[in-house]
Amino acid sequence: MKILLLGSGGREHALAWKMIQSPKLEKLYVAPGNAGTASIAENVNIAVTDFNTIADFIAEKGINLLVVGPEDPLVEGVRDFFIADARFQDLMILGPGKDGAILEGSKDFAKQFMVRHGIPTAGYMTVTPENIEKGQGYLTTLKAPYVLKADGLAAGKGVLIIDDLQEAQRELKEMLEGKFGTASSRVVIEEFLRGIEISVFAITDGKTYKILGSAKDYKRIGEGDMGLNTGGMGAISPVPFADEVFNKKVEERIVRPTVEGLKKDGIDFRGFLFFGLMNDGGEPSVIEYNVRMGDPETEVVIPRLKTDAIDLFVAAATGELANVEFELDNRYCATVMLVAGGYPGDYKKGDVITGFDQVENSIVFQAGTKEVDGEIVTNGGRVIAVSSFGEQMEEALTCSYVSVGKLCFKDMNYRKDIGQDLLNFKK
């Protein structure tokens, strides 16, 4: 099996790390990849949305399976592009088409989908410049805080949570006037949900699904969940408070109706589903859908997968998921993200990273790294995710923090409290 994986983050290093363990693999390419993927596969310098160049590469190398990491190529229609080209009739693709990726690409579409299929989610109204007065009025019917979401993709920055009504009304106007470009030409106003956030990951072939597990990520830069939002500073899987009863509710009320709903709507969805959920006193509801794996959640979910990744991905891409024997590792996996000083604001690149050979008992997934003259240097805000297993969550965390202590680059920063809020919950 010759595989091309699109993406360049810790998520892609984790997916590549898992795929190279398969005896089915003949050759793995990663476009564009990072220094971590270069150490276990072959990087190709092609941008993830440069479909024409990707197509030439796939044709030249005889790629059998295309695995799509990030959302941009999915929302831009990478699957549709290949399906429309007669040269690629035999290419297997893991990742939904445009009609499925819109679950992530449009918050309004996602809300309509959930309402249509009876999937629990916060009440909402979608506002356009034409009905801004209605939107302002809807805000007055809600209790603070107020949740405003740009409809389209806004690089993770399109959600505002505002305490003051007048400020929310002002922001609504600014968003509709283009605060987030065309992404906020429509705005979804939502009721604020209380509770604890948790994410659940599944893979589907459009007919059935396998649940890959739950994870919690730590989005804020500072300890105690303070400070600016980041792409994610660490993660734990499984989430200790997601007990059997809760997981059953998630599957029956959310995962299954989503896969069924896609089917009913005629959307042939083959890829990952990432459910961003709120757990309010044991009752799950959906905050958002993503149509890809999370980062850094992949760095704790994928290591727990015992099933051969290529068997699983091929089955999902070809509609054969029901025939896959699926198994997860029961242990906990924890990851701690090492970031560049200054991130998520301005930060430097090009600092040498040392200590890789000192790390024992953890898996080091590289994110923003590249190789320069035989050395690995920083090349992004989020630099390295250090993942470890443990029978107990504490054990997994301790192991990752010991390994973090071995790694070093100038102005390296990380959160020291990953998982601390979950220590009181037992599996």
Rule CB under 6 A: which residues touch ligand GLY? Answer: 217, 231-232, 290, 294-295, 297
Reported as type and span, the H/E element at residue 390 is strand 382-390
From the list ligand GLY, ligand AMP, none, partner contacted by residue 7 (C-beta under 5 to 8 A by kind): none
Least distance in angstroms from the C-beta of 156 to ligand AMP? 6
Q: Based on CB atoms, which residue is closest to ligand GLY, 92 or 233? A: 233
Neighbours of 245 (CB within 10 A): 9
> Comparing C-alpha atoms, which of 375, 380, 337, 372 is closest to residue 356?
375
Amino acid at 55: A
Crossing angle for the helix pair 107-116 and 98-105, nearest 10 degrees? 100
Scored b (16 or more CB within 10 A) or e, 162-188 reads beebeebbebbbebbeebbeebbbbbb
| 135 Cβ neighbours under 8 A, 6+ residues apart | 125, 127, 172, 187, 189
Among 5, 30, 193, 359, binds ligand AMP (CB under 6 A): 193
Q: Please give the structure tokens belonging to residue 309.
A: 């990744």
3-state SS, residue 332: strand
In the list 57, 88, 192, 326, the residue contacting ligand AMP (rule: CB under 6 A) is 192
Separation of alpha carbons 115 and 99, rounded Å: 17
Q: Which does 333 bind (CB under 5 to 8 A by kind): ligand AMP, ligand GLY, none?
A: none
Q: Which does 232 bind (CB under 5 to 8 A by kind): ligand AMP, ligand GLY, none?
A: ligand GLY
Binds 288: which of ligand AMP, ligand GLY, none (CB < 5-8 Å by kind)? ligand AMP
Q: In this structure, how many other beta carbons lie within 10 angstroms of the beta carbon of residue 112?
A: 13
Query: Residue 295 touches which of ligand AMP, ligand GLY, none (CB < 5 to 8 A by kind)?
Result: ligand GLY
The smaller minimum CB distance to ligand AMP, of residues 228 and 352, is found at 228
Between residue 122 and residue 151, which ones bind ligand AMP under the rule CB under 6 A?
A: 122, 147, 149
- Asked if 5 contacts 70 with a C-beta cutoff of 8 angstroms, the reply is no
From residue 196 to residue 225, the character string flagging contacts with ligand AMP as x (rule: CB under 6 A) and all else as - is -x----------------------------
Minimum distance from CB of 110 to ligand GLY (Å)? 14
Distance separating alpha carbons of residues 334 and 332, to the nearest angstrom: 7
The yes or no reply on residue 241 touching ligand AMP (CB under 6 A) is: no
Q: Which helix (H) or strand (E) holds 377?
A: strand 375-378
Q: Judge contact between 405 and 421, C-beta under 8 A.
A: no
Q: Which is nearer to ligand AMP, 205 or 295 (CB)?
A: 295
Quote the least distance from Cβ 113 to ligand GLY, whole Å: 19
Q: Which of ligand AMP, ligand GLY, none is residue 193 near (CB under 5 to 8 Å by kind)?
A: ligand AMP
Asked if 287 touches ligand AMP (CB under 6 A), the answer is: yes
Query: Residues 12, 104, 151, 190: which binds ligand AMP (CB under 6 A)?
Result: 190
| Residues at the contact surface with ligand AMP, assessed by CB under 6 A | 122, 147, 149, 159, 190, 192-193, 197, 276, 287-288
